[in-house]
Amino acid sequence: MSLAGDYDGNNIFAKILRGEAPCVKLFEDEHVLAFMDIFPQSQGHCLVIPKNTTARNLLEFPADRLGTYFASVQKLATAVTKAFNCDGVIVTQFNGAPAGQTVFHLHVHIIPRYANLPLQPHHGGKPADLDVLREQAARIAAAL
């Protein structure tokens, strides 16, 4: 059901893209917006979303835009690893609720991993302090 369906223009990421909901932004150009995840699974967890699309997931996104989108994801993942000096980084996304998707506008997670530090759960974690997220976003932006 959630894998196929209509795009809801009132999903939270659509609202963030329209400036109707807040986010802690770290990068933006004509193709993508990147911002800090409000329920981070680790320090530096951020999201990269494509603009000008009604793709709910990767399967619906035009193939001819994937290169541009993932070039941005790669650039941001590189900046995140520099900014946080992490030991690894997860780059992932989920398609459909049974796969773990909760927001139905295509997005990629960039989640730094630190040796011997467990991840917070994908859902049900604690919301981050906004000042902390702002400082982290500034660190990532400076590493771009």
Name which of 7 and 94 has its Cβ closer to ligand 5GP: 94
Residues recorded for the chain: 144
Strand extents, DSSP E, 1-144: 25-28, 32-36, 46-50, 88-92, 108-113
**In whole angstroms, how close is the CB of 26 to ligand 5GP at the nearest point?**
11
Residue 3 near ligand 5GP by CB under 6 A: no
Dist. CA 44–CA 91, nearest whole Å: 12
Burial of 134 (0-12, 13-18, 19+ CB in 10 A): middle
Residue 100 near ligand 5GP by CB under 6 A: yes
Residue among 60, 45, 44, 41 at smallest CA distance from 105: 60
Dist. CA 66–CA 120, nearest whole Å: 29
The stretch among 3-11, 34-42, 58-66, 67-75 that binds ligand 5GP (CB under 6 A) is: 34-42
Q: Which residues are catalytic?
A: 107
Show the tokens assigned to 47: 């999201």
Pick the binder of ligand 5GP from 17, 23, 48, 110 (CB under 6 A): 23
Name which of 21 and 66 has its Cβ closer to ligand 5GP: 21
Pick the binder of ligand 5GP from 103, 141, 143, 144 (CB under 6 A): 103
The stretch among 53-61, 65-73, 95-103, 113-121 that binds ligand 5GP (CB under 6 A) is: 95-103
Residue 10 near ligand 5GP by CB under 6 A: no
**Vertex 70, ends 63 and 37: CA angle to 5°?**
120
Residues that bind ligand 5GP (CB under 6 A): 12, 23, 35-39, 94, 100-103
